[in-house]
Amino acid sequence: MAEITTRILQVIEVPRSLISDFIKMPESRQVAIYFLVAGSDSGDDLQIYVGQTGDLRARLAKHNKDKEFWERALSVISGTNSLTQTQTLFHEWHCIQAVRDAERYSDHNGNSGTRPYPPAPLEADCFEVF
């Protein structure tokens, strides 16, 4: 787990082989943004899927059955369990745009996400995080 000590977000890296262990943990019950990633150590064939969910446990279990390409999941949750669905929608949309702009990964997202239009203070909070 990686933590930015001045922020409330935590990033939990879960190898696909340990997904069944992770979904038993309380952290898997949160609203989250997540990244399914794969790629070689040489940096070739980098692949990514960006998602958001109100139920990380169910979503990762579904992707474990339905999506073949990924090797690990990076789950971004709140240490205070305070991420909202609006925030995760915004982060998903923003991260998909960043992935596509960088052109380093094969993007497995079938859409561009949905850009919500939160109140200005909430949008500023979102941009502070990512």
> Tens-of-pLDDT digits for all 130 residues of the chain?
555 555 788 899 999 999 999 999 999 999 999 999 998 776 678 999 999 999 999 999 999 999 999 999 999 998 888 888 888 998 899 999 999 999 999 999 998 888 877 767 667 776 776 6
pLDDT at 86: 86
Range of the domain at 20: 2-129
Distance CA 21, CA 35 (A): 18
pLDDT at 1: 57
pLDDT at 30: 93
Domain count, the chain: 1
Q: Which two tokens stand for residue 41?
A: 């150590």
Burial 44-63 (b: 16+ CB within 10 A, else e): eeeebbbbbbeebbebbbeb
Is residue 92 a contact partner of residue 33, using CB atoms and an 8 Å limit?
yes
